[in-house]
Amino acid sequence: MRIPFDLIAAVFCMEGITQFLQQSANNKPAESAGVALVAWCGFLLVAWLLQELVIRHVEWRTRFGYHITGFGGGRHPLVSLGWGIHAGQAVTVVIYASLLWALKWPLWMSQWPTWFGMSLEKKIGGLEVASSHVIAALLNLGPFLLAMMLGWLPQRKLKSGIRGQPIPLGAFLSYEARLTWLPMALLLFEAFVRDGFNILPAEYSSWAEKPGVDVLLMVLATGAIWMVGMPLAVIWMWQCEPLPNGELKDRLLDLTRRSGVKAREILVWGPQNTHLLNACVLGAWSRYRYVLISPALVNELSEQETEAVLAHELGHARYGHLTLLFVMMLGLSALLDPVLLLLPESWRGKPLIETGVIIAVIIMYIRVVYGAIMRRCEREADLASAELMGTPVPLVAALEKLAIITGNIRDVWSWHHGSLAERVEAVTALSSDPDHSRQFHVGLRRFRIAFTVVTVVALCVQFWARL
């Protein structure tokens, strides 16, 4: 699953800058509407040009897709592509945050009812429309979402060349948004809940302001979203449909029964024309657990190789990796308060500084801690596939085939999966040594237990501190 670091950073920047501007004594926009329009148009142009330059560089290195491994050795072009895209995204976030600050954009957007001849005190259904968190989120993040979509445009041509098939523009943009904008959906859900609390009379919502309630609400809300909300939202956003009846479905259902993992349904992940090559399992709770497999993946792999990939995904559920991810999310939440308390006294209470620190901690936590743990979980899921299939050969064949199809990426390292070469070597070695594989399972299980205990203790300490 793709983690949109740029969108996450933009959300935190938007919230931090909005909070600062609302607390500022000078709470009126300083620039004219014309200046704001020109600034945002320039921002969109720069966002597109940054990604266009990255794609042009990679196209030149690969002679426009004819030699995807590049020339003269060195770094794989797709590695350059990844670093270039991330660098462009980082610059885009910085420019977006700078314009929010310089134009006082959230203050502009708070005046939106006046554009339609309404007063700022206008209420609809008991809610002051000017203070709606849902509308504010859409208006404030609107320019950044447009910039994201413009940044995707240059990537379509390159990906079409790599796959050897043209990807329709509409389908490409639609599915990129569906894959990337999950944080936006969560933000809108949170904003909707906050608007609901604002509608309620004070006597019905005052309990939420009591000490410690915020910690309990965070844990309960995160659990509900992770167990139920996210699986349902994802299968809707990713346009998932039930796997058609046939021999493949019968084989995959039989594999699921043999694994002992309960899943509600096996779904086709997205339309055929997106050319997505992936599979995943969603839902730590079996009642809302779904196994997803893309049609392009089924087309490229044999039935036995498809079974091996599904067995890998079932291994994530079998060995508690989905629950571990939930605990890691709570661990990140438990980490933020202590980090802010360690800031120098002169930095505390300043939304811009605290927002920057939070973004840095989140990115480091995900890239370093989450990445290291997930690479171990991937090895265990690969081993689970070999154990369920009785041999690692089908999974190895699937990985090798996918490495070629996606641009000879066998030795390209991924921060959350490692390289395919490392995975092939690890699953071959582990599956051939029962004692080593058993120790591997035991060691990772002990780590999951220890990590869970530490996270629970940290949350209890936060709850006690608030009391």
In order, the DSSP letters of 138-162 are HHHHHHHHHHHHHHHHHHHHHHHHH
- Per residue in 149-169, pLDDT tens? 999 988 887 777 666 677 788
pLDDT of residue 77: 76
pLDDT of residue 140: 94
In the DSSP assignment, the letter for residue 164 is T
Two structure tokens written together for 82: 């990844």
Distance of alpha carbon 286 from alpha carbon 288, whole angstroms: 5
pLDDT of residue 423: 96
In the DSSP assignment, the letter for residue 120 is T
pLDDT of residue 1: 57
- pLDDT surpassing 80 at residue 402: yes
pLDDT of residue 174: 84
Rounded mean pLDDT of the chain?
86
Q: Provide the percentage of residues in the chain whose pLDDT is more than 70.
A: 91
Which H or E run includes 293? Answer: strand 290-293
In the DSSP assignment, the letter for residue 346 is T
pLDDT of residue 133: 87
What pTM did the predictor assign?
A: 0.84
- Per residue in 26-54, pLDDT tens? 666 656 778 889 999 999 999 999 999 98
- pLDDT surpassing 70 at residue 63: no
- Per residue in 355-392, pLDDT tens? 888 888 988 898 889 999 999 999 999 999 999 999 99
Distance of alpha carbon 383 from alpha carbon 311, whole angstroms: 10
- pLDDT surpassing 60 at residue 68: no
| 127: region left, alpha or beta (phi > 0 left; psi from -120 to 50 alpha) | beta
Average pLDDT rounded to a whole number, residues 87-105: 92
- Per residue in 341-359, pLDDT tens? 888 888 877 777 888 888 8
pLDDT band of residue 307 (cuts 50, 70, 90) is very high
pLDDT band of residue 145 (cuts 50, 70, 90) is very high
Average pLDDT rounded to a whole number, residues 261-285: 85
pLDDT of residue 118: 81
- pLDDT surpassing 60 at residue 64: no
Q: Are strands 265-268 and 290-293 parallel, antiparallel or unpaired?
A: parallel
When comparing pLDDT for 356 and 312, which is higher? 312
Two structure tokens written together for 43: 């921002």
User: What angle separates helix 420-431 from helix 371-389, to the nearest 10 degrees?
Assistant: 50
Distance of alpha carbon 168 from alpha carbon 273, whole angstroms: 7
Two structure tokens written together for 3: 């983690």
> Within a 13 Å sphere around the CA of 142, how many CA atoms are in the beta-carbon half?
12
pLDDT band of residue 129 (cuts 50, 70, 90) is confident
How many angstroms separate the Cα of 467 from the Cα of each of 76, 202, 209, 214, 215? Answer: 54, 22, 12, 11, 11
How many Cβ atoms sit within 10 Å of the Cβ of residue 49?
14
pLDDT of residue 218: 76
- pLDDT surpassing 90 at residue 401: yes
Average pLDDT rounded to a whole number, residues 214-235: 84
pLDDT band of residue 102 (cuts 50, 70, 90) is confident
